[in-house]
Amino acid sequence: MNKVDYIIVGQGIAGTVVAQTARRQGLSVMVIDELQSETASKVSAGLVNPITGRKFVTSWMMDDLLPFVKSVYQEFSDLLGVPFYEPKNIIRAFANNAVENNWEVRASVPSFEQYVELNPDLGQYKNAVAPAFGYGEVTGGGQVDVPLLLEYFRAFLKKENILLEEIFDYQDLVIEEEAVFYKNIQARKIIFCEGIGIQNNPFFNFLPIVGNKGEVLIVKIPNLDETKIIKQGIFLIPLGNSIYWVGSNYFRRFEEIEPSEEGRQILLKKLEKALIVPFEIIRHRAAIRPTVPDRRPLIGVHPTLQNIVLFNGMGAKGASIAPYWANQLFLFLEKKQPLIKEVNIERYLKKHFAF
Structure-derived torsion over alpha carbons of residues 138, 55, 218, 125, reported in degrees to the nearest 10: -50
Mean pLDDT value of segment 280-291: 90
**CB-CB contact of 330 with 26 (8 Å):** no
What band does 11 get if pLDDT is binned at 50, 70 and 90? very high
Q: Can you tell me the distance from the alpha carbon of 210 to that of 70, in angstroms, rounded to the nearest whole number?
A: 30
Q: Can you tell me the distance from the alpha carbon of 238 to that of 89, in angstroms, rounded to the nearest whole number?
A: 11
**What pLDDT is attached to residue 29?**
98
The pLDDT tens digits of the residues spanning 145-180 come to: 999 999 999 999 999 999 999 999 999 999 999 999
The pLDDT tens digits of the residues spanning 184-200 come to: 999 999 999 999 889 89
Q: Which neighbouring-strand residues pair with 163?
A: 31
Q: Is residue 223's pLDDT more than 50?
A: yes
Pick from 236, 196, 194, 239: nearest CA to 216: 236
What band does 52 get if pLDDT is binned at 50, 70 and 90? confident
Pick from 181, 213, 184, 219: nearest CA to 196: 213
What band does 355 get if pLDDT is binned at 50, 70 and 90? very low
Helices (H), the chain: 13-24, 40-43, 62-80, 97-107, 110-113, 146-159, 261-274, 318-335
Backbone angles phi, psi at 232, to 5 degrees: -135, 80
Q: Can you tell me the distance from the alpha carbon of 27 to that of 127, in angstroms, rounded to the nearest whole number?
A: 52
pTM: 0.93
The pLDDT tens digits of the residues spanning 200-221 come to: 999 998 898 888 888 999 999 9
Pick from 52, 18, 22, 50: nearest CA to 33: 18
Helices (H), 124-259: 146-159
Query: C-alpha 91: how far from its chain's center?
Result: 21
Mean pLDDT value of segment 45-71: 91
Q: Is the dihedral of CA 20, 22, 27, 33 positive or negative?
A: negative
Pick from 129, 97, 108, 144: nearest CA to 321: 144
Helix axes 62-80, 13-24, angle to 10 degrees: 80
The pLDDT tens digits of the residues spanning 115-156 come to: 998 889 999 999 999 999 999 999 999 999 999 999 999 999
Query: What are the chain's domains?
Result: 2-43+147-207+294-348 (3.50.50.60), 210-289 (3.30.9.10)
Q: Is residue 15's pLDDT more than 70?
A: yes
Instruction: Name the residue with higher pLDDT: 221 or 44.
Output: 221
Helices (H), 226-317: 261-274
Q: What is the mean pLDDT of the chain?
A: 92
Helix, strand, or coil (residue 307): coil
